[in-house]
């Protein structure tokens, strides 16, 4: 019997020219051609990510902003080392229309509106938005407003790219009370993100939510303020398989590490067009062999998106390919004859 073998070669490049439809809004696909026999060629995967930090700026939040800011260098270093093409913006949980009282309300913080590798050193300062914001935290509304085409057009910003993964990071110690763009206690904001950032043609999700906040009924506010489990944020995180971490940790390095891993995981994963025979998978990265290993290798994972089960090869640790490394994946589809 002849075994069907599909071979993938892909190279990531920062200069990749992407073509996408101007009418569908669907992200560019990065998938193997649907060949029935063997395939050999170059495939490009997208190394673009737009990251939005939505920072609670109500009373008692300064301490947490400072802890998060202190770990930003770790995340940026990894993104730079892997030659990721990123844009990073910051907004606050305040959505008051009284901008005289709340000057950093309903807006992206800082100029320029987003940071890139050229000026990412400004992020550590920009994350610290203070604690003079509204006590009516509306982080989900804030995310929706500042990523809307109408708002971005009004300030002349091209922050949200159609062909980039959108990663949002919420940090808050309160329940979300959004109501302007949807009901925070329903699936409204999940549906909104699915519409604004639809799945790639490969089946990969176009967005991922992460949360640093209250996960249990235990207050860690040393100023004695009210805190609550962020159930509305957790719903988005669980839907997109993002990272959720406790805001109570004195050192937020593990929280930032988890978020960083999820983002890179989503970008560098190879999604199979069919169910692979796991035993047949053979991977080399820049000529060196990579093996199944959850720490410094690859893992085969599956995720149900809509009604479809997507099988992905995900890279970890020292096996995460940089943007200029040649990766070779060979496998046999399950049930191939």
Rounded to 5°, angle at Cα 61 from 55 and 67? 80
What is the distance between the alpha carbons of residues 211 and 234, in angstroms, rounded to a whole number? Answer: 7
237-284 tens-digit pLDDT: 999 999 999 998 889 999 999 999 899 888 888 888 888 899 989 888
What is the distance between the alpha carbons of residues 113 and 191, in angstroms, rounded to a whole number? Answer: 26
Question: What is the model's pTM?
Answer: 0.83
- At 226, is the pLDDT very low, low, confident or very high (cuts 50, 70, 90)? low
| pLDDT for 327 beyond 90 | no
What are the angstrom distances between the C-alpha of 186 and each of 62, 235, 240, 305? 29, 9, 15, 19
What is the distance between the alpha carbons of residues 153 and 37, in angstroms, rounded to a whole number? Answer: 47
Count Cβ atoms below 10 Å from residue 249 Cβ, excluding itself: 14
Under DSSP, the state recorded for 174 is: S
Count Cβ atoms below 10 Å from residue 279 Cβ, excluding itself: 9
What is the distance between the alpha carbons of residues 102 and 94, in angstroms, rounded to a whole number? Answer: 8
In contact, 58 and 131? CB cutoff 8 Å? yes
Rounded to 5°, angle at Cα 296 from 207 and 250? 65
- At 308, is the pLDDT very low, low, confident or very high (cuts 50, 70, 90)? confident
Q: What is the mean pLDDT of the chain?
A: 84
pLDDT at 243: 96
pLDDT at 32: 33
Each domain of the chain, given as residue ranges in start order, spans 6-18+37-45+269-331, 48-267
132-191 tens-digit pLDDT: 999 999 999 999 999 999 999 999 999 999 999 999 999 999 999 999 999 999 999 999
- Alpha carbon 180 to its chain centroid, in Å, reads 24
- Alpha carbon 74 to its chain centroid, in Å, reads 16
Q: Which residues of 191-206 are buried (b: 16+ CB within 10 A; e: fewer)?
A: ebbbebbbbbebbbbb
CATH of span 48-267: 3.40.50.410
Nearest to 88 by CA among 164, 153, 17, 12: 164
Backbone angles phi, psi at 75, to 5 degrees: -65, -45
What is the bridge-based pairing of β-strands 6-11 and 42-43? Answer: parallel
Which tokens in the block code for residue 101? 């009282």
Q: Which residues of 261-271 are buried (b: 16+ CB within 10 A; e: fewer)?
A: bbbbbbbbbbb
pLDDT at 20: 30
| pLDDT for 300 beyond 50 | yes
What is the distance between the alpha carbons of residues 292 and 278, in angstroms, rounded to a whole number? Answer: 10
């Amino acid at each position: 019997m002849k075994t069907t073998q599909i071979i993938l070669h892909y190279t990531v490049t920062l200069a990749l020219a992407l073509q996408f439809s101007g009418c569908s809004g669907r992200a560019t696909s990065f998938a193997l051609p649907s060949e029935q026999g063997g395939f050999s060629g170059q495939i490009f995967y997208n190394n673009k990510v737009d990251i939005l930090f939505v920072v609670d700026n109500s009373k008692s939040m300064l301490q947490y902003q400072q802890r998060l800011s202190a770990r930003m260098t770790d995340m940026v270093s990894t993104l730079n080392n892997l030659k990721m093409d990123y844009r990073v913006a910051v907004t606050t949980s305040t959505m008051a229309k009284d901008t005289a009282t709340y000057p950093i309300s309903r807006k992206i913080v800082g100029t320029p509106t987003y940071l890139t590798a050229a000026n990412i050193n400004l992020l550590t300062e920009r994350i610290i938005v203070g604690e003079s914001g509204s006590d009516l935290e509306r982080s989900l509304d804030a995310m929706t407003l500042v990523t809307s085409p109408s708002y971005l057009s009004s300030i002349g910003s091209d922050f949200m790219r159609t062909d980039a993964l959108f990663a949002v990071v919420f940090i808050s110690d309160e329940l979300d009370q959004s109501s302007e763009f949807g009901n925070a206690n329903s699936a409204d904001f999940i549906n909104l993100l699915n519409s604004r950032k639809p799945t790639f043609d490969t089946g990969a999700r176009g967005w991922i939510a992460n949360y640093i906040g209250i996960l249990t009924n235990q207050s860690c506010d040393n100023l004695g303020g009210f805190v609550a489990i962020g159930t509305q944020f957790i719903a988005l995180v669980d839907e997109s398989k993002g990272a959720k971490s406790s805001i109570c940790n004195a050192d937020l390095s593990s929280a930032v590490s988890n978020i960083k891993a999820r983002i890179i995981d989503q970008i560098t994963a190879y999604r199979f067009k069919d169910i692979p025979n796991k035993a047949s998978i053979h991977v080399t990265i820049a000529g060196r062999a990579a093996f199944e290993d959850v720490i410094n290798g690859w893992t085969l994972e599956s995720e149900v998106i809509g009604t479809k089960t997507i099988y992905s090869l995900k890279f970890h640790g020292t096996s995460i390919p940089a943007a200029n490394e040649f990766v070779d994946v060979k496998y046999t589809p399950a049930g191939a004859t």
